[in-house]
């Protein structure tokens, strides 16, 4: 495989070019080889790692969780028990967020139902969002 430029790597993994630079800066991505002229030269391993990171971020894993998962994915460090613990902790977080979103859905639904849509000096949706307003 021909070495990839940073732009082609970003496109191949479905991320923004600045995302690649950021992940390199925080040492989530290994530094690429350099061409004779000093340009970055990425390979298939970089695409795979970057796609792993992108997918993990889509699933809501934190940078530190991804760092741990990547370390555990190394052949010498593979530990299903440790990966399971990270995933279980993340699942707990997801369930908490789902409960919060369900509550928010109910509150918004009730608030919207009370809103007539007519011009009025008071709007239940705006009142709900105004943290400085007195409870009515």
pLDDT in tens, 74-117: 888 878 899 999 999 999 999 999 999 999 999 889 888 887 77
41 φ/ψ angles, rounded to the nearest 5 degrees: -130, 100
Do residues 114 and 124 touch, judged by C-beta distance below 8 A? yes
| Cα–Cα distance, 27 to 21 (Å, whole number) | 10
Do residues 41 and 34 touch, judged by C-beta distance below 8 A? yes
pLDDT of residue 114: 81
Cα dihedral 73, 79, 82, 85 sign: positive
* CATH code, 1-62: 1.10.1660.10
Do residues 98 and 60 touch, judged by C-beta distance below 8 A? no
Dig out the tokens for 2 from the structure. 């021909």
pTM: 0.76
pLDDT band at 2 (very low <50, low <70, confident <90, very high): confident
Dig out the tokens for 23 from the structure. 């992940």
């Amino acid at each position: 495989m021909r070495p990839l430029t940073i732009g082609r790597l970003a496109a191949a993994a479905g991320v923004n070019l600045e995302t690649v630079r950021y992940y390199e800066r925080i040492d989530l991505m290994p530094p690429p080889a350099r061409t004779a002229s000093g340009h970055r030269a990425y390979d298939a391993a970089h695409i795979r790692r970057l796609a792993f990171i992108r997918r993990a971020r889509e699933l809501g894993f934190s940078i530190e969780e991804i760092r741990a998962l990547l370390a555990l994915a190394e052949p010498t460090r593979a530990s299903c028990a440790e990966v399971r613990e990270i995933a279980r902790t993340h699942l707990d977080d997801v369930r908490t967020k789902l409960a919060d979103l369900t509550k928010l859905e109910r509150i918004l639904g009730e608030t919207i139902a009370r809103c007539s849509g007519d011009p009025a000096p008071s709007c239940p949706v705006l009142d709900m969002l105004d943290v400085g307003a007195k409870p009515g």
